Amino acid sequence: MALTRQTLHDLVDIVDPSEFDIIYRLLVKFIPEDDALPDEIEAMRLAETEIANGETIPYDDVDWK
């Protein structure tokens, strides 16, 4: 029997739901992580600097209306 995507789907269908967490943690290890883009890296650096300098607004002070 050739291993196909459908074979994996069929196997998941027979796994006990109590084991889903284990299956999930195993499968996500095979999903490649995206590298952050240069503008995303810069945004993270800026955010870290603003947090360190106390330049952020506390969550509770935001008017969410």
Looking at the chain, how many residues does it have? 65
Question: Is residue 44 within 8 Å of residue 36, measured between CB atoms?
Answer: yes
The number of angstroms, rounded, from the C-alpha of 46 to the middle of its chain's C-alpha atoms is 22
pTM: 0.45
CB-neighbour burial class of residue 46 (10 A; exposed 0-12, middle 13-18, buried 19+):
exposed
Q: What is the pLDDT of residues 10-26, one digit of tens each?
A: 999 999 999 999 999 99
Which ranges constitute the DSSP H helices of the chain? Answer: 5-14, 20-28, 38-52
Q: What is the pLDDT of residues 45-63, one digit of tens each?
A: 999 999 999 999 988 999 9
Q: Which tokens go with 65?
A: 């209306």
Residue ranges covered by each domain of the chain: 14-54
